[in-house]
């Protein structure tokens, strides 16, 4: 039972992480005139972490 709760929690964290990455990307495109490439690496890492959490959560629910 506790494994299922951890799986659901991991999925929720993954969804939240992806939503934050999307908002970051939109804010950068809207407000920063000359963004550095490092900023987009940060957004990419944020997306990768979100996908990892989704995969871990899905495997825990199995």
- C-beta neighbour count of 36 within 10 angstroms: 10
What are the pLDDT digits (tens) for 10-43? Answer: 999 999 999 999 999 999 999 988 888 898 999 9
* Residue 62: band (very low, low, confident or very high) from pLDDT cuts 50, 70, 90: confident
- Looking at residue 54, its pLDDT comes to 97
b or e along 4-34 (b: 16 or more beta carbons within 10 Å of the residue's beta carbon)? eeebeebbebbeebbeebeebbeeeeeeeee
Per residue in 43-60, pLDDT (tens digit) is 999 999 999 999 999 999
**pLDDT of 1 higher than 80:** no
The pTM score is 0.86
Determine contact, residues 56/10, Cβ cutoff 8 Å: yes
């Amino acid at each position: 039972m506790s494994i299922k709760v951890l799986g659901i929690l991991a999925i929720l964290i993954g969804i939240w992480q992806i939503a934050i990455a999307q908002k970051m990307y939109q804010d950068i495109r809207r407000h920063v005139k000359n963004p550095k490439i490092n900023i987009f690496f940060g957004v990419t890492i944020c997306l990768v972490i979100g996908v990892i959490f989704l995969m871990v959560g899905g495997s825990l629910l199995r």
